[in-house]
Amino acid sequence: MKAQIIKTVYFEAARRLSGSHSNANYTGNSYRIDLIAEGEVDDSVGWVVDYGEMKRFLDPVRKKLDHCCLSDIPELAEDATPAALENWIKEQLRPWPDWFADVRVSLPAPPGFILEHISQNDALGLPERVMFTFSAAQSLPQLPEGHPCRKLHGHTYQVEIAPARIDGIENTAKEVFNSLDATYLNLLPGLEQATAERIAVWIWRFLEKKGVTPEVVAVQETPHNRCHYFGK
């Protein structure tokens, strides 16, 4: 019996925008890597290959990509698209084990401004809100040498806004998106230390200046890390 299995990991990286070497022209993304294995299911253990083995096989390459600027990798300097990343990763992984089938790289959210409505969540104490994503580069220079987040990297951020009145929020939410997307966040006043907490406060104040009264602003920088700010 043959089967295909997939091990998924994520990494966070920055890149220079095309044709630019200026600090003002960086952006960043969260990236998803799917490592695909195919083969006969071993009758003795019931799998094609141990997921732990797949993780160990991929991890040295993931570490090269995570919390870095992809444009500083010579082979990716001119092209750091998901397709180019796939080819680079596959070459880095050689020699391939017998179970290796493919590598796929994707972005966790489509580019551009897409506003979604989210229902009230009583368990988390969150009211009805809207959500959009933006992608940007950042670094945390306040952290000690050796901390991965001190280095230039990037995220695909998920932002949730719960205004006192949700009707008519779309235009203001798009202004927030346009101010943050495809930027190097550290260059924006107030975001010199661009933690999720500071981004949430920055968005809160932006909304207030636009006449919007927020009840909560949430910022998620990875699938496992998010901040809720209630203005207190």
Phi and psi at 212, nearest 5°, equal -100, 130
Reported pTM? 0.91
For residue 27, the cross-strand partners are: 15
> Which pLDDT belongs to residue 80?
95
Query: How do residues 9-35 score in pLDDT, each as one tens digit?
Result: 999 999 998 655 555 589 999 999 999
Distance between CA atoms of residues 107 and 86, nearest Å: 12
Whether the predicted pLDDT of 45 surpasses 80: yes
Question: What number is the average pLDDT over the span 149-168?
Answer: 95
Question: What number is the average pLDDT over the span 69-82?
Answer: 95
> Which pLDDT belongs to residue 108?
87
User: Which fold would CATH assign to domain 2-106?
Assistant: Tetrahydropterin Synthase; Chain A (3.30.479)
Residue range 116-229, CATH number: 3.30.479.10
- Mean per-residue pLDDT over the chain, rounded: 94
Amino acid (one-letter) located at 161: I
Query: How do residues 212-223 score in pLDDT, each as one tens digit?
Result: 999 999 999 998
Whether the predicted pLDDT of 170 surpasses 80: yes
> Which pLDDT belongs to residue 16?
92
Q: Determine the Cα angle at 187 with ends 206 and 67, to 5°.
A: 110
The two domains 2-106 and 116-229 share their CATH topology (first three levels equal): yes
Where exactly are the structural domains of the chain?
2-106, 116-229
